[in-house]
Amino acid sequence: MNFYMLWLTKVFNVSNVKLMEFSSIIPPNVAYNSTKEDFEELNIPENLIEKLLSTKIKDEAKRDFEFCEKENIKIIDITSNEYPFNLFNIPSPPPILYCKGTLLPQDEISISIVGSRKYSEYGMLCTKKFAYELAKCGISIISGMASGIDSFAHKYALEAKGRTIAVLGNSVNIIYPEENKKLYYDIIQNGAIISEFPLNTAPLPKNFPVRNRIVAGMSLGTLVIEANKKSGTMITARLAAEAGRNVYAVPGSIFSQSSLGTSSLIKDGAKITTSTEDIIEDIFFEISKKLPRSEQISLFDTPKLSDKENVIYKKLSLMPTTIDNLVCDTKLPISELISILSMLEINGYIKSLPGRQYVINAK
């Protein structure tokens, strides 16, 4: 059936609703072998009959199908047992998914983690905490493999030896962004790369809002780490809410542009999320018992430091602090301060940022 659904997606282009209406009238495999007279008896419009009978479209479908077989790209149509269960209840579910890797029944228990491409250190550390801990519980992590928060969500899910699924805004045979080439192949080994877009579809801006409905629909809830008020991340959160899924938002600084979106979501009813348990206990009560305290990431445990190191460390947080402010706050000579900061960074307790700024570092 998957070949015939692939063929129909080329006939109907991106009109999923019309495709599904047509396939309810006549099965795709029957339609493929039907004549003009057969279609006319069903009152199919003339312009559609022309596309259904097009040798060019059928040949293109055959070439794509053969390419997918050669490149180990699965074509999962909406009638397949492999089709993600969570997608059935979203508006306009994709008739087919192109998939590299493996989708498993356990991926139904999943959370989408999304956020800004222009992330802050705070956003990265929050993503590490939530993606790692949720994956450690056996919860699949869904995201869009975009630069920034999405990529970190996949990365730290894999670091926890968990499963993760990337939903692309382009075809599965194109790696975008190119910097994620290694991540792309790592995800295939421990989850799946999926897309509804036909082969060789470029990552065009118009594709990403379409993609976001699948990111939201694949999971039982969407966690927003950081987002501007007008962004693709906010579209994903809205689509999750419209599909009846839980929306979670990590609070951030009121002075940060990247926190305007999450603050807006919280005002609109998203659940304030400051720990993994806020998600797990909400929709995965039994799973909440599976995460040993030893596996949870604490971002704020104070390490064993000398007195002067401790004075400096306590002046730092996840929000960047300039060296000028540290001089004022600690009253230490700048030469001594720089020396201590260097040792703290070498030991992995803090991290330096451009502009001589410093933040604490997650373990």
Q: Any idea what the CATH number is for the domain that residue 318 is in?
A: 1.10.10.10
Q: Are 117 and 179 within one domain? A: yes
User: Do 157 and 245 have their domain in common?
Assistant: yes
- The domain in which residue 327 lies consists of 307-360
**Domain stop point among 264, 295, 326:** 295
Instruction: With CA atoms as reference, report the closest residue to 142 among 115, 171, 179.
Output: 115
Q: Which amino acid is at 245?
A: R
If asked whether residues 353 and 252 sit together in one domain, one would say no
- The answer to the question of residue 100 being in a domain is no
pLDDT at 298: 56
CA–CA dist 96, 75 (Å, integer): 7
pLDDT computed for residue 301 by the predictor: 57
Sign of the CA dihedral running 140, 190, 361, 124: negative
Of residues 255 and 285, more confidence is placed in: 255
pLDDT at 296: 59
Euclidean distance between CA atoms 202 and 174, whole angstroms: 7
In a domain, 55, yes or no: yes
Q: Which amino acid type is present at position 321?
A: T
What span, in angstroms and rounded, lies between the C-alpha atoms of 247 and 244? 9
Residue 56 and residue 159 in one domain? no
Q: How many domains does the chain have?
A: 3
Q: What is the pLDDT of residues 232-262, one digit of tens each?
A: 899 999 999 998 999 999 998 888 888 899 9
Q: Report which secondary-structure segment, H or E, holds 352.
A: strand 350-353
Does residue 36 have a pLDDT over 90?
yes
Bridge partners, residue 195, by sequence: 98
The verdict on 354 and 269 lying in the same domain is no
The whole-number average pLDDT for the span 69-79 is: 94
Q: Are the C-beta atoms of 283 and 220 separated by less than 8 Å?
A: yes
Q: What does the pLDDT average to over 72-90?
A: 92
Q: What angle do CA 263, 248, 209 make, to 5 degrees?
A: 85
Same structural domain for residues 131 and 33? no
Residue 249: other Cβ atoms inside 10 A? 26
pLDDT of residue 225: 95
Average pLDDT over residues 77-100: 91
Confirm whether 300 is domain-assigned.
Answer: no
In a domain, residue 37? The reply is yes
Of 105, 103, 97, 99, the closest CA to residue 5 belongs to 97
Average pLDDT, the chain: 90
Could you tell me if 124 and 13 lie in one domain? no
Q: Specify the range with the lowest mean pLDDT, choosing from 70-74, 183-187, 231-235.
A: 231-235
User: Order of strands, edge to edge, in the sheet holding 357-360?
Assistant: 321-322, 357-360, 350-353
Place of tokens 């493929």: 32
Residue 354 has a pLDDT of 82
Q: Could you give the CA distance from residue 163 to residue 156 in angstroms, rounded to a whole number? A: 10
Domain assignment present for 267: yes
Residue 134 C-alpha from the chain's centroid: 14
pTM above 0.85, yes or no: no
User: Do 141 and 32 sit in the same domain of this protein?
Assistant: no
Ranking 46-55, 90-99, 297-306 by mean pLDDT, the lowest is: 297-306
CB 169 within 8 A of CB 211: yes
How many whole angstroms separate alpha carbon 4 and alpha carbon 9?
9
Q: Minimal CA–CA distance to 215: which of 79, 126, 64, 97?
A: 97
Does some domain include residue 94? no
Predicted local confidence at residue 295, as pLDDT = 59
Residues 38 and 138 in one domain: no
Q: Could you tell me if 231 and 258 are in contact, meaning their C-beta atoms sit under 8 angstroms apart?
A: no
Q: Are residues 177 and 284 in the same domain?
A: yes
Residue 299's pLDDT band (boundaries 50, 70, 90)? low
pLDDT of residue 194: 98
Residue 99 domain flag: no
Where do the H-state alpha helices sit in the chain? 2-12, 16-25, 28-32, 36-41, 46-52, 55-70, 121-136, 149-159, 181-189, 207-217, 232-242, 260-267, 276-283, 307-314, 323-330, 334-346
CATH number of the domain at 164, please.
3.40.50.450
pLDDT confidence of 141, banded at 50, 70, 90?
Answer: very high
| C-alpha–C-alpha distance, residues 68 and 148, integer Å | 29
- Is 63 inside a domain boundary? yes
Note the Cα 254 to chain centre separation in Å: 25
Whether residue 335 sits in one domain with residue 263: no
**Over 70: is that where the pLDDT of 287 sits?**
no
CA–CA dist 308, 332 (Å, integer)? 9
Give the SS3 label for residue 339. Answer: helix
Per the rule left: phi > 0, alpha: psi between -120 and 50, beta: everything else, 253 is beta
Rg (CA), the chain: 24
pLDDT band at 289 (very low <50, low <70, confident <90, very high): low
What integer pLDDT is reported at residue 22 of this predicted model? Answer: 92
- Give yes or no for residue 363 having a pLDDT over 70: no
Res 300 pLDDT > 60: no
| pLDDT tier, 1 (very low <50, low <70, confident <90, very high otherwise) | low
Among the candidates 253, 275, 295, a domain finishes at: 295
Q: Please indicate, yes or no, whether residues 130 and 60 belong to a single structural domain of this protein.
A: no
